[in-house]
Amino acid sequence: MADKVNIPEKLESFSDHWAPRIVARYNDHEVRLVKVEGEFIWHSHDDTDELFLILDGELDMEFRDRTVTLNAGDLIVVPKGTEHRPCARKGEVKLLLIDPKDMPNTGDPATATVAVEI
């Protein structure tokens, strides 16, 4: 049986940054919520694209040759193998991510924060 997910309630249930929470699963993918602030690390994902949907705040997605500024309601898909760095320089940003199951958020399991289900 399918259950609804209330995104604002899920976002209220945690406060740490750069630590994705799994709120739903479909096929071999996870729908994750994350709060971010400051700069993340430069990284890439060799085997998959990465989808970011901005729910609240302003996020700079840095690429080696340019920066794309995203606001609430904006979405970006970072192509696989593309080095990037998400940065929240103007305060906390709330994001919805859609990632393949068990994908490390840094592209490297050794340095990744493991997404947990809530």
Helices (H) and strands (E) in the chain, counts: 1, 8
Asked, for residue 81, whether it belongs to a domain, the answer is yes
Which tens digit of pLDDT belongs to each residue from 27-61? Answer: 999 999 999 999 998 988 888 899 999 999 999 99
Mean pLDDT, the chain, integer: 90
CATH of the domain at 77: 2.60.120.10
pTM of the entire structure? 0.87
- Where is average pLDDT lowest: 13-17, 41-45, 72-76? 41-45
- Number of domains the chain is built from: 1
Asked, for residue 4, whether it belongs to a domain, the answer is no
> Is there a contact between 17 and 37 (Cβ–Cβ < 8 Å)?
yes
Q: Give 118: exposed, middle or buried? Use CB within 10 Å, 0-12, 13-18, 19+.
A: middle
Which residues form the domain of 91? 24-117
Asked, for residue 51, whether it belongs to a domain, the answer is yes
In the three-class reduction of DSSP (H, G, I as helix; E, B as strand; rest coil), residue 7 is classed as: helix
Mean pLDDT of 71-98: 96
